[in-house]
Each structure stands twice: as C-alpha cells, then as structure tokens.
Chain A
Amino acid sequence: MKFIGIVGTNAKKSYNRMLLQFMQKHFASKAEIEILELKDVPMFNESKDQSDSPIIQEFNRKIEASDGVIIATPEHNHSIPAALKSIIEWLSFNLHPLDGKAVMIVGASYNIQGSSRAQLHLRQVLDAPGVNASVMPGSEFLLGKAQDAFDNKGDLKSQRTIDFLDSCFAKFMKFSDIIAQMNIPEDITYEPGTFKVTAVGHNGDLPMEVTLSDDRIEKIDIDTSSETQGIADVAFKRIPQQIIDGQTLNVDVVSGASITSRGVVDGVAKAVKMAGANPDILKKRKKSNGPNKQNVVEYQTDVVVVGAGGAGLTAAARTIQQGKKAIVLEKFPAIGGNTVRAGGPMNAADPEWQNKFEEITGERHTLKEISEIDEKTIDVEYLADFKALKKQINEYLKENEDKKAYLFDSKLLHRIQTYLGGKRTDLQGNKIYGQYDLVKELTDHALESVKWLEDIGVKFDKTQVTMPVGALWRRGHKPLGSQGFAFIEALKKYLESNDGQIMTDTAAKELIIEDGQVKGIIARSSDGKKIIVHAKAVVLASGGFGANTKMLKKYNTYWSNIDDNIKTTNSPAITGDGIRLGQSAGAELVGMGFSQMMPVSDPETGELFSGLQVPPQNFVMVNQKGKRFVNEYGSRDELTKAAIDNGSLFYLIADDAIKETAYNTSQAQIDKQVEQGTLYRDDTLEGLAKQVGMDPATFVKTINDYNSYVDAGEDPEFHKSAFDLKVEKAPFYATPRKPAVHHTMGGLKIDTDAHVINQDEKIIPGLYAAGEVAGGIHAGNRLGGNSLSDIFTFGRIAANNALKDMES
C-alpha cells in the first residue's frame, strides 16, 4: 500500500513531522508513506486560482494515486493551522483528490490532551462536501507532551504509545482497503437496444432516442426540428455529450436552461430503466472530465495479464525476467486480490529444512494412518506414488521407533495429502479428486516457487515451520512481514523497478479473438475509458468466484444450501470474471460445483483474522451448548459441515498460553475487541460460559475432558489428531465463529503448461490461466497453504509457456 503523509504545518521544527517520519520508518514493511510538506503552498484565494501551479498539482496527483492519506495536525489556537486549512481549500475548489479517499488523522502537540480540538475540527472540514474524504472513525491518535515523546533517534519512547499507533495503523490499512472497495463504481449492464423516450423542450416534449450497448450509453439523438433556436439548444448538445463522455447521469446543468437540461437526463434515465438497469447507479457516478479526454487508449505488449493478485503478478514478473513486456490489468484501485488477504504460509515440502524441527504429538499417528490406507481405495493414477510414499513412511517410522523424531516430509506426502484432502463426493454422488498431472506439477515445483520468490525479494522466516488451518501437515513457509502482503509487495516492487506496467481501476471485459487465436483484451477503466491491449498471449489470473453468490449457487453441487446473504472471506472483486472470459473462447470448466467454506470466520464480517486465530493443534471448538463437536484438526469442510449441523455459530476457546500462539493479533487489538464485544474474556471458565450463554457446568466438563485428552495424547471422543496446549491459564477467551465462503476449487480447465483447454479437449491458442481461476487441482477441497503454492507455481508456468509458444 502507498500512503501520503501530510505534515500539517509549515514550521521548520515540527513534532508532527517527526511523528510522520517515525511512522514512515516504523511501518516501512507494511506500507510506503510519502511525506508531503506545506512550505510552498500559497495561501488559498478564490479570486486567484492557482490550482494549476506545480505544487498543488503535485498534491493532487500524489493523493489521487495513493491508497490513503495520513494527516498529522498540530493544534494552533484550538484548531488546525492555517497552512493546512489552505491546502485543503485548494483541494476542495477545482480539484477534488480527497473525494472518497481514506484519511487517518494523527496529531502531536505540547498539551497533554494533544491536538484533540484540532482533530475534531479537521474531521468536520474533511467531511465538507467539496472535500468529501472518508475519515477513519475512532482511533484518535493524540500525542501529548510531544517535546518529551521522542528519543534522539526520532523514535517514540513509550512502548504503549507505539502499540496504540500500531493498532490505529493496522485499522487504517484495513479501512483504506474497504474504502477502496466502496469507490469501485458499481457495474451496470443494459439490455442492448435503442429506446424511444422524450426530452423536455420549450414547445413541449421532443422525441429522443437512446442507444445502449451491453455496458455503455452509445448514442443520444434528440429531434429538435420543432424547437426554436436558443439557449436550450446548447443543453441538447452539451448534456448528451457529458452523459456519453462520462457514462454518467451526474452532469452540470446548462445555466439558463436547467429545465431542458434535466429533461434530457430524465429521458436517458427512463431509457436506462427500460433496458433493465438502475439509473441511480449512473447518477452516483462521477461527473465527466470533459469531452477532450481520450476515450480509447491502445497498448501493445507481449503478455497481458488479467488480475493483479499473486498468480497475475507472478506471471508478469516471470515474463519480464525473460526480457519480454507485460501489462497487468487490475479491476480494483488496489492490487493484491485475495492474495493480500492470505494469512498463512505457503506449502512446499522441503525435507532438508523441515528435518531440523522435532515432530509434535500426533504427527506420527497421522503418518501411520496414511500408510495403513487400503490401496484399493487409492485411484489408479496415484497408486504408484502411494506405494512409494508408504515405503518412505515405514522407513521413517522404523528408524525412529523408540525416540523422538524429526519432522518428516516429502514431495510424495504433499502430493498424496493434496489428493486425499481434495477427494470428495457431492450431493449427486459425483466423485472428484485432483487431476494427477496437475497435482504432480504443483507438488514437484512448489519448493522452486519458494526459491523463486526469494530471488524476487520475499524473505521467509526460517525459524519456524507451521501448519495453516486445514493444511494437514507442517510444511508452511512463512514470509517475514505481513503474510499475503509480503508477497504482493515484493512482486510489485520487482515489477515497478523493471518496467512492468500495472493498470489499476481497469477491468477486463472481452477477449480479442482472431481466427481462433486469443490476441488481447478489451478493458474498461473506472472513468469510462476503453482500453485495448494487443498482446501475443493473455494470462487469466482473476481469481475465483467466492464473492459472487449468484454464481456459487448456480454451480453448487456440494453444500445442501448456500444462503443468499452468506458472508465471504474474499475480496469483493472475486466475481468469476476470468471464468466468463474463458468461456467466451470456448473453455471447458471443471469442478465448478465444489466450493470451500472457511469454518472459522467472523460471524458478522466473514473476516478471518479477527479474534484469536491459533494453530489448529491449539484449537478447542465448542458449540453453543458448550460441548466439543468435531475433531478440530479436521479438514475445512469437515469442520464446516459439523458447524452447520451445530447451528453454524460456534466458539474457539483459548487460555492465556494459547492466546500467545495466535498469529493474527496484538494485545491492543485483543483488548479492543473484548471492549467491542466481538471477543469474550473472563477470569474463570464458568464466567466465560455465562458471558456467551452456555451452561457453565457443561462447558467446564468439556474443557476438563479436553485437558485430560491432551495429557493422554489421545482423544477418544472426536479423535483429534494433534494437540499442543491445554486450557488452564486464566484469563480465558472465546472467539465466536461461523462458516463463510472461502475458496472456489472449480474453474477453467488447464493442462500442465497452464494452457486453457476448450470443450473439444484442445488448447485455446494464446490463452493461459493460473491461480484460483483455474480448476482441477484442489478438486473437492483445497488444503490450507496450497493455494499460495498453486498461484506462484502456475503463475510462473503460464508465463514460461506463453513465451515458449511465442517463439515457435
């Protein structure tokens, strides 16, 4: 993410500047903060417009391009400094870069209560219609006694202050994400055709024809033959022009002809309605930027990629590494898709590394169980690999019979677990499992992907090997820094410093197909521009369709029911666009009926990383009655099905020691959530049960039983397969959870070269797919941590083959 920090004063020495500089340094691994100064900003003057001056243009441009703005304001005379007010006035006059922009307010001042009054004024100012910023509510960061707050390196001295700043900033990162999503213009589709409506003229109604295509207002014809010449004439020309240029009904009325101006708008609105669309969406859009703007822009490149998530950025980076050009189209203002949301490590068997760690309780048992699986139940493609794995396991077990062993792993174990974990039968009795050649490709090359990412600039934490929820084995490579974002940040940096082009706010709409060969993409930018990218290859990497409930319901064959208002952990951009694009070229789809629910999601938001998310060996799940109901180490859909059977809502229980193993949170966040009532905490188990409304006796018994199973290393009730900590040290926590849509396993059919395959089993020339948009690998259930391996592996493969095919 990239933020702009504004030092709210032009004074030479400023604690607010120091605060921003500290934030810039302190948060460098999370976001880039560029600091802008007010020194050269002229005093605002309505009668002397200087909006075009370089300094104001710089503010305008940089704020527009940013993901959010952090304003550090001093307090001068109980309000914000004139210098800060002045730049805001410039940015609310003819330019409006703060419109809809996420803003965080911080402030340093001598006074103990810091800059509270100034911050309050600033909020009101930013809320004014001309500014219209989206200011983050709450989280008022006031640095009082600023002159004592920093050490001589410019760092904040108080850890508590830093903790609070951390929590404010984490919230702002999330907030700016959400605001960015709110700014996505709502899509509109019309029933194409020409609609006859009327416009209001001076001498009565005038006939008007509005021509609509699939997603555009193409033409507005008003028959003015019965009109007398006059000012209204201008309205009949200018208003339709504005409407078409901006694809908007938010237009400036022509002064002196307001009635006729509105008449045209109403007429077009009527036509839009007749075409089955909602004109209010067009009324909420931005005004047109003027007719002289270029409305069609063409580009030429080697590889055009749809979607700037992990798979897409990887494909682009790999293209550039080989000396070719790449353009990435991204529908959203911010890049990263679901990949930035990924909170877990990526799977890759790396025995050399894993062997350095000790086994944990239960793992040996899991291996034994695998080796004891009846070979008759193994599908024939996998049989040879299964036998080889069995041999490996038996040797390992024998070698370590009477001693504590190291952690075992191999490509074969990863492959067989991916296969076994993905094997499912849907409601209609259709059996599915991962396509062998694709699963082999994935498990053979996952470790290469880790190495490749290291070359790109991702740093991994080698000190621990973890198992993401639902991963079945500890083979997670965890990047340093904030998980999914760390991958995206490194890839973005790589692309930016190597002439890769990422175009955000640009949604791919159509494939360019000539003689059966895919030759590029037609896209639409959010300000209405048509963007044509001619390319030798197209890589679809637009992710799955987890945020498209309609599409999920249409294909679903696995869940007995998917609610209309089901929550999702996905970015709202993940609507299956790439699947539809592929279909337009005749692509075959596989496994579309299988989607994955994340059992441990926030009941209100679908979010994953609220509450206490701990490694599954430390999960203790209880239902609303206070009883355990499932093997917590089970696969995601076992957990989901069990949760649905238990009324969906359930709780993750933790004690103080388990809390320490949570990977998603800080004490400040925990305290905040407890305060907000989204996380429960109590000094006794009985008290906790009462807070969430369970019978205390039942709950206490459940926990005592669980603790005794940990001691015994065996769970006779649900056969939990790995344990670590007991629930014994106060305070105790309960995190409410509910299943939400998490992943779509189905998608475009591909081969091991990431070519998209059509319904005649043939390669579609020029078309490649990588990541969640493709199907066939994860089949009925994706293992946690396998997606990241998938996108970085197949992202590379797609680029490699696109370039190889280009040569021949």
Chain B
Amino acid sequence: MKLVGIVGTNSSESTNRRLLQYMKQHYSEQAEIEICEIDEIPVFDEPEDKTAPQAVQVLSDKIAASDGVIFATPEYDHSIPAVLKNAIEWLSYTTRPLINKPVMIIGASLGALGTSRAQAHLRQILEAPELKALIMPNVEYLLGRALEAFDDNGNMVYEDKAKELDNDFTEFLSFVKLTEKLTANSKFFEISKQFSWKQVANGEDM
C-alpha cells in the first residue's frame, strides 16, 4: 500500500514532521509512506487560469497515485496553519485529487493539549464539495508534549500513545481497503470533479 504523509507546516522544526517520520519508519512493513512538504507552494490568489503551479502539480500527482493520505497538522490559533490551508485551496481550485481519497488526520503539539480544534476544522474543510475526501471516522490522534515524545533513535517514548497509534493506523489500513470497494465506480466522483460554487449560487443545488 502506498500512502502520502503531508507535513502541515512550513516550519523547519516540526514535531508533526517527526511524527510522520516515525510512522514511515515504524510501519514500513505495512505501508510505504512518502512524506510531502508544502513549503514551496506559492500563495494562493485565485488566478483566472485554473492551472496548478509546479509544486502543486507535484503534490497532486503524488496524492492521485496514492492509496490514501495522512495529514499531520499543528494547531495555530485554534485552527490549521495558513500554509496547509493554502495547499488545500490550490488542490481544490485546480486538480482536486482528494476526491474520494481515504484520509487520516493526526496532529502533534508542544503543550499537553493536542490539536483537536485544528483537526476538527480540517475535517470540515476536507468535507467541502470540491475536496470530498473520505475521512476516517471516529479517530482523533493527538500527540501532546511532542518535543519529548521521541528518543534519539526516533522511537516514541510514550507507550500508551505508541499503542494507540498502532491501533489507529491498522484501522486506517482497513478503512483504505474498505473504501476501495465503495468508490470503484462512484458517480459522485464526477459530480465533485465538476463542482463549482457558482453552480450552487445559480440554484443548481447538490
């Protein structure tokens, strides 16, 4: 199975990146996780021609070729970072590779409290009509005190948290398999690909 792990920040130091690296290493037998960065993506400004810039196209292709996507998001001001939102806006405005793509949301934070608000926002965002990702339900993986969470070899020191992630990840793998059947020939897919907010406004509600 091929998965894409998106680092939800452009910061050079990121515990979310560490968390994805841990998963990549730790679950290498079950899946191949490719870690993707979003810091090179230009600022989204609704260009008239709806073509994706190079960096967006690269990310989009990787997502399209994958079986599922893991978003690791920090929380900035009670929501996801602008830079992650920026990447998502490009994807929704141009290539729309997330439609019907299985998605797992995780988040690491420095404080004891995790990233639950950002994760909730991300869920709502990915449910928007031009994104329509298939988000794994019932799972909210929050890693608090993330700075001290990994030892020098990149292993997770909190046993309970490591176990929880094992469970959640296994569940995600079955979720990906399950959705393959669901989406094999979904008409929904085509509608979403063509969705435009102008249509909604014109009364062609969906």
- Which residues of A come within 8 Å of B, CB atoms? 9-12, 39, 42-47, 76-86, 88-89, 92, 109-112, 117, 121, 124-128, 130-131, 145, 147
B82 touches A77 (CB 8 A): no
Q: Flag if A11 contacts B79 (CB, 8 Å).
A: no
B201–A10 CB distance below 8 A: no
A11 partner, pick from B39, B46, B85, beta carbons under 8 A? B46
Taking a contact as CB atoms under 8 Å apart, the answer to whether B77 and A76 are in contact is no
Measured CA separation A110–B81 after assembly (Å): 25
Min CB gap A105→B, angstroms: 14
A127-B78 contact, Cβ under 8 Å, with A78-B124, A85-B85, A121-B121: yes
B10 at the interface (CB under 8 A from A): yes
CB of B147, distance to nearest CB on chain A (Å)? 14
Let me know if B30 is at the binding interface, CB within 8 A: no
Min CB–CB distance A770 → chain B (angstroms)? 47
CB closest residue in chain A, given B38: A43
User: Is chain A's binding surface mostly helix, strand, loop or mixed?
Assistant: loop
* B12 proximal to A (CB < 8 A): yes
B200 engages A45 (CB within 8 Å): no
Given A110-B197, A125-B79, verify A83-B44 contact (CB < 8 Å): yes
A78 and B117 alpha carbons, distance in the complex (Å): 15
B11 neighbours in A (Cβ, 8 Å) = 45-47
Of the candidates A79, A109, A128, the one whose C-beta lies within 8 Å of that of B85 is: A79
Q: A77-B88, A77-B125, A124-B117 are in contact. Are A145 and B201 (CB under 8 A)?
A: yes
Are B12 and A124 neighbours in the complex by a CB distance under 8 Å? Answer: no
**Selected interface stretch from B21-29, B56-64, B127-135, B168-176:** B127-135
B13 touching A10, Cβ below 8 Å = no
**Interface contacts beyond A82-B88, A83-B86, A124-B117: sample of 15 additional A-B pairs, CB < 8 Å, sorted by A:** A12-B48, A43-B86, A45-B39, A47-B12, A77-B88, A77-B92, A78-B125, A82-B82, A86-B43, A110-B198, A111-B197, A117-B124, A121-B79, A124-B79, A145-B201
The residue in chain B whose Cβ has the minimal distance to the Cβ of A117 is: B124
The answer to whether A44 and B201 have CB atoms under 8 Å apart is no
Q: Count CB-based A-B contacts (< 8 Å).
A: 123
Cβ-defined partner of A125 (8 Å) among B78, B126, B127, B201? B78
B126 neighbours in A (Cβ, 8 Å): 77
**A-B pairs with beta carbons under 8 Å apart, 9 shown:** A45-B83, A46-B13, A47-B10, A77-B130, A83-B86, A86-B86, A92-B77, A112-B200, A128-B79
The residue that A44 contacts in the complex, of B12, B81, B121, B198, with Cβ under 8 A, is: B81
Instruction: Looking at the assembled complex, report how far the CB atom of B153 sits from the nearest CB atom of chain A, in whole angstroms.
Output: 25
Residue of A nearest to B86 (CB): A82
Residues of B within 8 A of A84 (CB): 82
B residues near A85, Cβ cutoff 8 Å: 76-77, 79-82, 85
Q: B9 interface residue, CB < 8 Å from A?
A: yes
Interchain CA distance A130-B200 in the complex, whole Å: 36
Most chain A beta carbons < 10 A, residue from B9, B44, B48, B82: B82
Kindly provide the distance from the CB of B84 to the nearest chain A CB, expressed in whole angstroms: 8
> Complex Cα distance A423/B124, Å?
68
Chain A proximity of B193: nearest CB distance (Å) = 15
Q: Closest CB-CB distance, B102 to chain A, in whole Å?
A: 18
Q: How far is the CA of A10 from the CA of B92 in the complex (A)?
A: 17
Residues on A with beta carbons closer than 8 Å to the beta carbon of B200 = 110-112
Q: How far is the CA of A121 from the CA of B197 in the complex (A)?
A: 19
Closest Cβ of chain B to A48, distance in Å, is 8
CB-based contact A147/B201 at 8 Å: yes
By the criterion CB–CB under 8 Å, are A43 and B83 in contact?
Answer: yes
Evaluate contact between B9 and A46: CB separation under 8 angstroms.
Answer: yes
CA distance A81 to B83 in the complex (A): 10
Distance in angstroms between the alpha carbons of A86 and B79 in the assembled complex:
11
Q: Which of A76, A82, A86, A128 lies at the interface centre, i.e. has the most chain B CB atoms within 10 A of its CB?
A: A82
Closest to A127 in B: B78
Q: Which residues of A contact B131 (CB under 8 A)?
A: 77
> In the bound complex, what is the Cα–Cα distance between A44 and B76 (angstroms)?
11
Q: How far is A127 from B117 in the complex, measured between Cα atoms in Å? A: 12
B159 interface contact, C-beta 8 A: no
* Cβ–Cβ < 8 Å partners of A124 in chain B: 78-79, 117, 121
Closest chain A CB from B44 CB (angstroms): 6
**B12 to chain A: which residues have CB within 8 Å?**
47
A12, A78, A92: the one within 8 Å of B128 (CB)? A78
A85 and B45 CA atoms in complex are apart in Å by 13
* Shortest CB distance B202–A (Å): 9
Given that A127-B78, A131-B77 are contacting pairs, would A83 and B10 also be in contact in the complex, using a CB cutoff of 8 Å?
no
